[in-house]
Copies of this chain bind each other. A is one copy, B any other.
Amino acid sequence: MSAADLMAVLLAGHLRYDFTAPGHPGNDHLIFSKGHATPLLYAMYRAAGVIDDRELLSFRRLGSRLEGHPTPRLPWVDVATGSLGLGLPAGVGLALAGQRLGEVARRVWVLCGDSELAEGSMWEAFEHASYERLDSLTAIIDVNRLGQRGETRHGWDTAAYARRISAFGWRTIEIDGHDAEAIGHAYAEAAGTTDQPTAIIARTMKGRGVAAVQDAEGAHGKPVPDAETAIAELGGIRNIRVPVRQPAAAAAAREAPAGNGSRPGLPRYECGENVATRTAFGEALAAVGGAREDVVVLDGEVSDSTRTEFFAKAHPGRFFECYIAEQQMVAAALGLQARGWVPFACTFAAFLTRAHDFIRMAAISRANIKLVGSHAGVSIGEDGPSQMGLEDLALFRAVHGSVVLYPCDANQTAALVDALAATRGIGYLRTTRGSTPVIYPPGEKFPIGGSKVLRASDADLVTIIAAGITVPEALGAADALAADGIAARVIDLYSVKPVDTQTLRTAAEVTGNFVTVEDHWPEGGLGDAVLAAFANGHRPPRLTKLAAHTMPGSATPAEQLHVAGIDAKAIEAAVRALTPAPSSRS
């Protein structure tokens, strides 16, 4: 209710939106960063005539698309919100699509709460938007003073917000958020402002218009105590239909070009070369960007490390430097994909943990984004644990509907980058800092959900399952064991999710014993992915999981693999421990 006047004025006179054609390229965007204000958002849809009373009354019920917080199950919602501090950052991505990628510069209106200004992600967004001069972006800040459990830090001190936001390079306008004329003027001013985004900081009253809850604590997220009285106070039952301004006839606006399906000229590497998968990723991404004009890349100020610098050089217009602000990077990607772009957002695997909440929310948005984490695992060497991604597989496997890929060589990497760009949904690619030998010829196919059996015979006693940096170690172990008469199957499980269930089950039937080896904490990574293939009542193999069990320090990459117990020697020892004879218990 605090934002009802703000939204009424927007809907009735400023938003340009063809609700019957949510894909119209000239439509403005409206994001509820305060996602809990769905009663207001859905009331706007009702007033616009695109939902009816029957549907409105399904609010928060099983099967209804009118969920407690908005999701893109509704065609007018670009990104799911409900985790505070996400909507404005995503709005920056939508505005970037309009202003940096040559689309029509639709306006992007974002309704923000005052509580969520405590989130650092909001300030990453303020900084990003002013740096990029996103004058199509307007933040409407509903300063109703009260958070869910009491007053916010700044209460009704709208000047405190204005000082901060204008210091971040935005135009700020302070208004009474219940003064329709002031609201309209502010929107007009925002629309007329060039070269900088605008924040309208509106002093409002929570529960406005209903005495029982107006400006009251303890009423957050609860129904009003007496609905009949509230309706009467608000003017009685009405059936308002608001005509909404139509978008400009911009149907010819440049959209994200569809992936044209032409195969990129992927880089080719010769077997036996030593190439870091991060380098192959960077070269492949630049190539994919040449073949697909819908691919855009975002980086967290580490493009020389992630190797997105190759893309930046080849396709500068589609490269976004996000500086060290991983939440904003992922949120901008989220906004860009909502306009049909295929974003790759890249930093060290370790630092993607910063954006975990936004990745989680991206799944709720049914988003199409690709995350790439470099410097995975202890094998980075001397820099130490703060720079090592050792939980990224656990993080990304536990994202609903995700694809998780972990290549071991350069040609495989290139093929997977191509596959990732072509596959809708949330995809994660894990790359390695140091060089690894090229073991696959150029052009080899690596389907998502597949694996490669690198060593196999009917005499195999054990299956070694590796991915990425541990594949060469597994091959080394298998060769040493073979020299000793112990046949070990080796599987390169490059697709950690979805996992190649059939190949794993066959290997279990033949060998009965598995050794998994991963440069990751023991929890949630490769070993668990392997076991997931059997978690539907299938008889699982005996399994020894090799993974990093101790906190690493600084050391050379080879020393790190050794200390973690994931090098060829450790694999060999684990296989020997499994092979002599099953233990008496089993």
Contact = CB atoms under 8 A, between A and B. Distances in A.
Contacts of A543: 534-535, 537, 540
Contacts of A152: 323
Chain multiplicity (copies): 2
Contact of A363 (B382, B509, B551, B577): B551
Contacts of A363: 551
Interface stretch (A22-30, A406-414, A521-529): A521-529
Contacts of A120: 119-124, 325, 327-328
A528 B537 contact: no
B537 A73 contact: no
B540 A544 contact: no
A63 B384 CA distance: 11
Contacts of A350: 83, 357, 360
A35 to B, nearest CB: 6
Interface string A66-103: 11110101000000111111000000000000000000
Interface stretch (A179-187, A385-393, A475-483): A385-393
Contacts of A40: none
A260 to B, nearest CB: 30
Nearest to A312: B149
Nearest to A122: B120
A542 B544 contact: no
Q: Considering residues A73, A80, A356, which has the most beta carbons from chain B within 10 angstroms of its beta carbon?
A: A356
A360 to B, nearest CB: 5
Contacts of A513: 537
Contact of A384 (B67, B401, B582): B67
A351 interface: yes
A43 interface: no
B544 A324 contact: no
Interface string A482-516: 00000000000000010000000000010001000
A62 B555 contact: yes
Contacts of A328: 120
